[in-house]
Amino acid sequence: MVQDVNPKEEPQGTPHLINEVTMPRERKDEEWRAEFPYPWDEDEVVTRRDTLRFLVAGSGALFLATGALAILGALPKGKNVTAVPIAKVGELAENESKVFNFPDQYTQGILINLPGHGLVAYSDVCTHLSCAVLYQGNGKMFCPCHDGLFDARTGNVLAGPPTRPLPLIQLAQQDGVIYAVKEIER
């Protein structure tokens, strides 16, 4: 005997399929909203608020950044200030150094790009007996005359006969150029 594999009568309890094609669209939307209630109006208000907050915060950040750049870029002015261009921005790789004339051709400073610290500059005249110090490439400056050693982050004495730190040279930046502006005795 051949069994009917597509019985015409469905057993009781069989899920009944909804005919999606013939169901009105409005009713479909209503059912969907009833099953997944969501406060659409509130959502719209929050989104606008968030957008406004974002715009206000973004404008504030831009304003502060512009101010910071202006301060960084400004060269000090005054009778006793000498702004001497000594390097271009990005000229020195990390742990590289450069000797420069400051404030004139008779005295020199040393510019160092310290990893994690940025550019620093000191007078390169050893505070012991005025030999020229050299950057060793390891965060330390060395004076070959009597083995004086200085910390390149601070200019302080680490070893040897010097007792005073190296004078710091203040730097400024404008239009992609680094300037030495002032020597600070300590």
Nearer to ligand FES, 111 or 162 (CB): 162
Nearer to ligand FES, 162 or 169 (CB): 162
115 Cβ neighbours under 8 A, 6+ residues apart: 94, 95
Which residue stretch of 25-33, 44-52, 142-150, 168-176 sits at the interface with ligand FES (rule: CB under 6 A)? 142-150
Nearer to ligand FES, 126 or 168 (CB): 126
Is 73 in contact with 173 (CB distance < 8 Å)? Answer: yes
In angstroms, rounded to a whole number, what is the distance separating the alpha carbons of residues 180 and 72? Answer: 13
Nearer to ligand FES, 129 or 184 (CB): 129
According to the binding rule CB under 6 A, does residue 167 interact with ligand FES?
no
φ, ψ of residue 183 to 5 degrees: the values are: -95, 130
According to the binding rule CB under 6 A, does residue 165 interact with ligand FES?
no
Which of 83, 114, 131, 158 contacts ligand FES by CB under 6 A?
131
According to the binding rule CB under 6 A, does residue 161 interact with ligand FES?
yes
According to the binding rule CB under 6 A, does residue 128 interact with ligand FES?
yes
Q: At closest approach, how far in Å is the CB of 100 from ligand FES?
A: 20
Chain positions 59 to 78 lying near ligand FES, rule: CB under 6 A, are none
Which tokens hold the place of 34? 């009833």
Produce one character per residue of 78-92: b if its CB has 16 or more CB atoms within 10 Å, e if not.
eeeeebeebbeeeeb
According to the binding rule CB under 6 A, does residue 149 interact with ligand FES?
no
Q: Is 103 exposed, middle or buried (0-12, 13-18, 19+ CB in 10 A)?
A: middle
Which of 146, 153, 164, 186 contacts ligand FES by CB under 6 A?
146
Which tokens hold the place of 169? 């040279």
According to the binding rule CB under 6 A, does residue 162 interact with ligand FES?
yes
51 secondary structure, DSSP code: H
Which of 112, 113, 120, 148 contacts ligand FES by CB under 6 A?
148
In angstroms, rounded to a whole number, what is the distance separating the alpha carbons of residues 160 and 156? Answer: 12
Q: Return the beta strands (E) in 9-127 as ranges.
A: 84-88, 97-101, 108-114, 118-123
- Which residue ranges make up the site for ligand FES (CB under 6 A)? 126, 128-129, 131, 143, 145-146, 148, 160-162
